Chains A and B, each alone.
Chain A
Amino acid sequence: EVQLLESGGGLLQPGGSLRVSCAASGFTFSSYAMSWVRQAPGKGLEWVSGITGSGGGTYYADSVRGRFTISRDNSKNTLYLQMNSLRVEDTAEYYCARVIAYGAGDYWGQGTLVTVSS
């Protein structure tokens, strides 16, 4: 059974840093691209970042480029999102998703909440 389990969310002050993780199981992790998608409270979905299966290609939304870094450890079946220079507007539930054909996310984790507030 495919499972994605995010962790590492919390309450931060503006300007702070945080790393969230996504532990994957039930599939060959290195064979799949992965994405991070976030959802601010009461709002819609926003793609944040993506990474190829090998980790050789990384991609970012304009809103986080230069502040966030996506990475993966295929030996640990884990996806990461390092978030620096956090802003109030980064407050959201952060989901990881497995990417399949046509760029669709077929499995999603349950999310981890990141709150940025002074």
Chain B
Amino acid sequence: EIVLTQSPGTLSLSPGERATLSCRASPSFSSNYLAWYQQRPGQAPRLLIYGASSRASGIPDRFSGSGSGTDFTLTISRLEPEDFAVYYCQQYLTSPLMYTFGQGTKLEI
């Protein structure tokens, strides 16, 4: 079973700043089946990044994903007020088919 550990638990930044969120997999996995989601209070999760680095449809280019194997990163280049939310990483295994979510990073003003 793969465990995803997100850090930091809470990140306090201001609009206009750069945010770097980490997701560490243990053990590492060879595929890039890693996604990132944003969840605002009272809303369903919203897909931001899939395949570790591909932006989902309609996602602004200030969001970018990178990494492979053990360490994955979500970067928000210049924070907008609407970006303050909780972010989750998610890994997908094909055999056996299983999804795992990280515990989340809260991005606050």
Contact = CB atoms under 8 A, between A and B. Distances in A.
Contacts, number: 74
Interface stretch (A23-31, A45-53, A80-88): A45-53
Contacts of B98: 47, 59, 61
A53 B104 CA distance: 29
Interface of A: 35, 37, 44-47, 50, 57, 59, 61, 95, 97, 100-106, 108-111
27 contacts: A35-B99, A37-B101, A44-B104, A45-B37, A45-B39, A45-B45, A45-B101, A45-B104, A46-B101, A47-B99, A47-B101, A50-B97, A57-B97, A59-B96, A97-B45, A102-B31, A102-B34, A102-B54, A102-B92, A103-B90, A103-B94, A104-B56, A104-B92, A105-B47, A106-B50, A106-B57, A108-B45
